[in-house]
Amino acid sequence: MDYNEESLKLHQLKRGKIEIRSKVELKTKDDLSLAYTPGVAAVSSAIGIDKKLSWKLTNRANQVAIISDGTAILGLGNLGPEAAMPVMEGKAIIFKEFAGVDAFPLCIKTTDVEEIINFCKLIEPSFGGINLEDISAPRCFTILKRLENELSIPVFHDDQDGTAIVVLAALINACRVTKKDIKKLKIIINGAGAAGIAITRLLINQGVADIILVDSLGAIYDGRPDLNDFKVQIAKQTNESKIIGGLEKAVIGCDVFIGVSRGNLLKFEMIKTMAINPIIFAMANPNPEILPDQALLAGASIVGTGRSDFPNQINNALVFPGLFRGLLDQQIVHITNEIKVNVANALAYTITPTKNQILPLITDKNVVNAIAKAVKKHY
Amino acid sequence: MDYNEESLKLHQLKRGKIEIRSKVELKTKDDLSLAYTPGVAAVSSAIGIDKKLSWKLTNRANQVAIISDGTAILGLGNLGPEAAMPVMEGKAIIFKEFAGVDAFPLCIKTTDVEEIINFCKLIEPSFGGINLEDISAPRCFTILKRLENELSIPVFHDDQDGTAIVVLAALINACRVTKKDIKKLKIIINGAGAAGIAITRLLINQGVADIILVDSLGAIYDGRPDLNDFKVQIAKQTNESKIIGGLEKAVIGCDVFIGVSRGNLLKFEMIKTMAINPIIFAMANPNPEILPDQALLAGASIVGTGRSDFPNQINNALVFPGLFRGLLDQQIVHITNEIKVNVANALAYTITPTKNQILPLITDKNVVNAIAKAVKKHY
């Protein structure tokens, strides 16, 4: 199937993918009098007296805003808010289909950090949570951090934490298959945007001792000029051997390659220089850093990509529906590292992994429940 | 039926009234590949090149934002954005049930004019139109005016134009029943908020020669101190005989009373002083300015209220679904006076009016089509 052509046809035929529906009957005058005036006045009055009742008397408790400024759409880059909408509508229907969450896409016409933060504050009374999406780094780090501190509903940036959680789950299961100890791995992460930084942070939190983060200018090390604040911080916790140089040099001897960068960056010969039977997650979309057959030929033990048409798809869509189901059901505000790790483990342990299936399929209906159950408050 | 109690029960049982649904299948891996990655990349890329395609490839063309700051909820006043949500969810499901329009409520945490205007600008790429709701006067006049000038999608404030249109329709039919000439009526409008000002403007536009607008301090006249800019403008076009005084004095000799104020303000004795067989629209919610039986006893020929449990309900819900259906279908940006008048006429002429039915019922399925057809571009 030509996904591009067929997808364009589908979107044109249906004119988008979401719709708003009523949960109540609206046929008679009495239906109207209860759902709307005059009856609704009693509901508004009750919430006016006790704002917390909005969680019980409106759809808020099940409602998530998917917010994007369109600056980092998939692997396509900054195409603007209008172009982000098809992706966000896609996320919205995945939210509903897999987790029963009502998510509504708001693609907004600004790239200003303060304006985006303020926008989220303005809509807080209407939602139970916020899913940030496809907002470019490094702005996304500031936005997420500020909103986590300043809002009373959970805020999640899928490109950061969604990716980090699904990569951790994939890595846990790759280790189960290959009988490796995750803490002893030497891991190279190629790409230091939203995903790369968040993966690095979560793996450090998991006690992975040896990580090298590589951006377009080469390995990040403590003291490298030109680093932004977020990379400066990461540099202090990674690249212990202080390797200076490009991917070609940094990849030597690594057990794991995690690519969240661009297509075709990882060469056959580079894999040859890695540790024996390395694990390769080539997650660039739509073109992976190396094609699976090439990576396997070069000696990789396990290869994952972001794509649905290869084995071992490592995709955020495995995480966000169940995560928000759990957050909303338990009215949890802060997505702690403990929650992220629990979710990654829950996701990993939904299956007995094999070389060709280290993660469950997105269509696997068990995943959401397993993840939602793993989302718990810890005191 | 105790509407208040039953409505609270319904809202608690259903936890609000709206939900987000998918318009496409999402069962198989191929479904996901078309609705989401990788297929969706082609759709986003296409819109990235030509933003206008967002009208064809996303739900935007059928999507309306219902925006409120919760400062003027029904007749309840300023109860805040959380409390506005039940009303906005009610409007959303009426939009869908009667006109197939996907409307999403955004109740926002600000009452600042510039912030509300900016908010609407930010969300423009995601919507085909904006319905402002329950935003208090006089801020609502500035907000609507500015947005009409600064956005490229239609902006409608239901409390202003929705009310004005439905009142004009009711008046047209009251005149058909009583064989009066609308242009020759002497009309008193009690209440100079969003609705009162908008009704006055539309009736002036229709050539009604003699209108007196009354606010809580009495009749508005040219030169009255304390008037805000909007009332100053109206004062120049109304109250020609320059009556100074309260409702009791201003109502004398009037053919029509239009109340958009508070309950029980119009007394039996006042109606006695009006012209013979006056028309009374006592639209305050939930308690009308005078109860219908009292008004009829005092000599009124036709009495309308905002309530569904009396005859002649004059409610905005007759207007907004069909109006937006027409605006969206024809991608009309500016809601001109001509459109408002055409819509009022279309609404009026859906029925042959009688004394006890001057407007169709909200549940009448013919109304939306008739109104949508009346929404046309004029050159």
- Is B29 known to be catalytic? no
- ipTM computed for the complex: 0.95
pLDDT for A1 equals 85
- Rounded CA separation A180/A128 (Å): 40
Average pLDDT over residues B81-109: 98
- The amino acid present at A66, given as its one-letter code, is I
Closest partner residue to A109 (CB to CB) among B8, B62, B125 is B125
| Distance between A332 CA and the closest CA of chain B, angstroms | 18
Region of B134 please: left (phi>0), alpha (psi -120 to 50) or beta: left
Between the two ends of chain B, the Cα-to-Cα distance in Å is: 50
pLDDT for A75 equals 82
Inter-chain CB proximity B125 and A85 less than 8 Å:
yes
| Chain A environment of B3 (Cβ under 8 Å) | 33-34, 38-39, 42
Average pLDDT over residues B153-180: 98
- The amino acid present at B7, given as its one-letter code, is S
Q: Which two tokens stand for residue B280?
A: 């009374």
Which segments of B15-49 does DSSP mark as H helices, in order?
A: 29-35, 40-49
User: Is the minimum CB–CB distance between B40 and chain A shorter than 8 Å?
Assistant: yes
CA distances from B352 to B132, B174, B257 (A): 32, 11, 23
pLDDT for A325 equals 98
CA distances from A159 to A55, A166, A256, A308, B29 (A): 28, 11, 20, 18, 22
DSSP string, B139-199: HHHHHHHHHHHH-SS-EEEIIIIIHHHHHHHHHHHHHHHHT--GGG-EEEEE--SHHHHHH
Q: In whole angstroms, how large is the CA radius of gyration of chain B?
A: 22
Residues B50-73 as b or e (16 or more Cβ within 10 Å = b):
eeebbbebbbbbbbbbbbbbbbbb
User: Is the minimum CB–CB distance between A44 and chain B shorter than 8 Å?
Assistant: yes
| Distance between B110 CA and the closest CA of chain A, angstroms | 7
| Chain A environment of B30 (Cβ under 8 Å) | 1
- Rounded CA separation A101/A334 (Å): 18
Q: Which residues pair with B188 in a beta bridge?
A: B212, B257
| Chain B environment of A122 (Cβ under 8 Å) | 108-110, 115, 119
- Rounded CA separation A327/A338 (Å): 13
Q: At residue B246, does pLDDT exceed 70?
A: yes
Q: In whole angstroms, how large is the CA radius of gyration of chain A?
A: 22
Q: Which residues pair with B65 in a beta bridge?
A: B104, B130
Side by side, the strands of the sheet bearing A302-305 are A218-219, A210-215, A186-190, A256-259, A279-282, A302-305
Inter-chain CB proximity A20 and B16 less than 8 Å:
no
Query: Which residues 329-368 on chain A approach chain B with CB closer than 8 angstroms?
Result: 361-363
Confidence of residue A378 (pLDDT cuts 50, 70, 90): low
Closest partner residue to B93 (CB to CB) among A22, A103, A104 is A22
Closest partner residue to B47 (CB to CB) among A10, A82, A90 is A82
pLDDT in tens, A157-207: 999 999 999 999 999 999 999 999 999 999 999 999 999 999 999 999 999
Pairing of strands B155-157, A129-132: unpaired
Inter-chain CB proximity B7 and A35 less than 8 Å:
yes
Surface-to-core class of residue A248, CB atoms within 10 Å of its CB (0-12 exposed, 13-18 middle, 19+ buried): middle
pLDDT in tens, B13-60: 999 999 999 999 999 989 999 999 889 999 999 999 999 999 999 999
* Element of type H or E holding B103: strand B102-107
Surface-to-core class of residue B91, CB atoms within 10 Å of its CB (0-12 exposed, 13-18 middle, 19+ buried): buried
Task: Collect all residues with Cβ–Cβ distance below 8 Å to A233 and sequence separation of at least 6.
Answer: none
For testing contact with chain A, the best of B122, B310, B331 (most A CBs within 10 A): B122
Query: Which residues 317-336 on chain B approach chain A with CB closer than 8 angstroms?
Result: 317
Q: Which residue has the higher pLDDT, A355 or B76?
A: A355
| Chain A environment of B32 (Cβ under 8 Å) | 94, 308, 317, 362-363
Closest partner residue to B20 (CB to CB) among A47, A103, A126 is A103
- Among the options A3, A14, A36, A56, which is catalytic? A36
Inter-chain CB proximity B37 and A89 less than 8 Å:
no
Between the two ends of chain A, the Cα-to-Cα distance in Å is: 50
Q: Which two tokens stand for residue A266?
A: 């990882």
Percent of chain A past pLDDT 90, that is, above it, reads 94
Nearest CA in chain B to A101: B20
Inter-chain CB proximity A73 and B44 less than 8 Å:
yes
Pairing of strands B302-305, B279-282: parallel
pLDDT in tens, A327-347: 999 999 999 999 999 999 999
- Among the options B36, B183, B236, B272, which is catalytic? B36
Percent of chain B past pLDDT 90, that is, above it, reads 94
- Is B379 known to be catalytic? no
pLDDT in tens, A58-116: 999 999 999 999 999 988 899 999 999 999 999 999 999 999 999 999 999 999 999 99
Q: At residue A238, does pLDDT exceed 60?
A: yes
Q: Which of A342, A344, A315, A339 is nearest to A327 (CA)?
A: A339
| Chain B environment of A115 (Cβ under 8 Å) | 118, 122
Q: Which of B321, B329, B331, B325 is nearest to B154 (CA)?
A: B331
Q: At residue A309, does pLDDT exceed 90?
A: no
Closest partner residue to B110 (CB to CB) among A97, A110, A122 is A122
Inter-chain CB proximity B90 and A122 less than 8 Å:
no
Instruction: Check if the beta carbon of residue A190 is closer than 8 Å to that of residue A258.
Output: yes
Model's pTM, two decimal places? 0.96
Instruction: For the beta carbon of residue B226, count every other beta carbon within 10 angstroms.
Output: 8
Q: Which residues pair with A131 in a beta bridge?
A: A66, A156
Nearest CA in chain B to A128: B82
Surface-to-core class of residue B192, CB atoms within 10 Å of its CB (0-12 exposed, 13-18 middle, 19+ buried): buried
- Rounded CA separation B48/B42 (Å): 10
| Distance between B30 CA and the closest CA of chain A, angstroms | 8
Inter-chain CB proximity A39 and B4 less than 8 Å:
yes
Closest partner residue to B47 (CB to CB) among A7, A86, A96 is A86
User: Is the minimum CB–CB distance between A27 and chain B shorter than 8 Å?
Assistant: yes
Length of chain A: 379
What are the backbone angles phi and psi of residue A300, rounded to the nearest 5°? -65, 145
Nearest CA in chain B to A64: B20
- The amino acid present at A44, given as its one-letter code, is S
Inter-chain CB proximity A81 and B317 less than 8 Å:
no
pLDDT for B237 equals 96
Which segments of chain A does DSSP mark as H helices, in order?
A: 3-14, 29-35, 40-49, 54-57, 81-99, 113-123, 139-150, 163-178, 194-205, 229-235, 247-250, 268-273, 292-297, 320-329, 337-348, 366-374
Confidence of residue B378 (pLDDT cuts 50, 70, 90): low
Instruction: Check if the beta carbon of residue A163 is closer than 8 Å to that of residue A195.
Output: yes
| Distance between A336 CA and the closest CA of chain B, angstroms | 27
* Element of type H or E holding B118: helix B113-123
* Element of type H or E holding A188: strand A186-190
**Which residue in the block uniquely carries the two structure tokens 């969206």?**
B328
Query: Which residues 77-136 on chain B approach chain A with CB closer than 8 angstroms?
Result: 79-87, 89-97, 102-110, 115, 118-119, 121-126
What are the backbone angles phi and psi of residue B21, rounded to the nearest 5°? -125, 160
Inter-chain CB proximity A3 and B42 less than 8 Å:
yes
Inter-chain CB proximity B106 and A126 less than 8 Å:
yes
- Rounded CA separation A287/B50 (Å): 24
| Distance between B44 CA and the closest CA of chain A, angstroms | 5
Confidence of residue A377 (pLDDT cuts 50, 70, 90): confident
Query: Which residues 167-226 on chain B approach chain A with CB closer than 8 angstroms?
Result: none
pLDDT for B64 equals 98
Average pLDDT over residues B290-319: 95
Q: At residue B379, does pLDDT exceed 80?
A: no
pLDDT for B208 equals 95
| Distance between B104 CA and the closest CA of chain A, angstroms | 7
Length of chain B: 379
| Distance between B145 CA and the closest CA of chain A, angstroms | 21
Q: At residue A147, does pLDDT exceed 70?
A: yes
Instruction: For the beta carbon of residue B111, count every other beta carbon within 10 angstroms.
Output: 16
Q: At residue A379, does pLDDT exceed 60?
A: no
Q: At residue A313, does pLDDT exceed 80?
A: yes
Mean pLDDT of chain B: 96
Task: Collect all residues with Cβ–Cβ distance below 8 Å to A291 and sequence separation of at least 6.
Answer: A282
Inter-chain CB proximity B39 and A123 less than 8 Å:
no
| Distance between A216 CA and the closest CA of chain B, angstroms | 23
Sign, CA dihedral A206-A212-A217-A223, equals: positive
- The amino acid present at B172, given as its one-letter code, is I
Average pLDDT over residues B183-192: 97
pLDDT for B66 equals 98
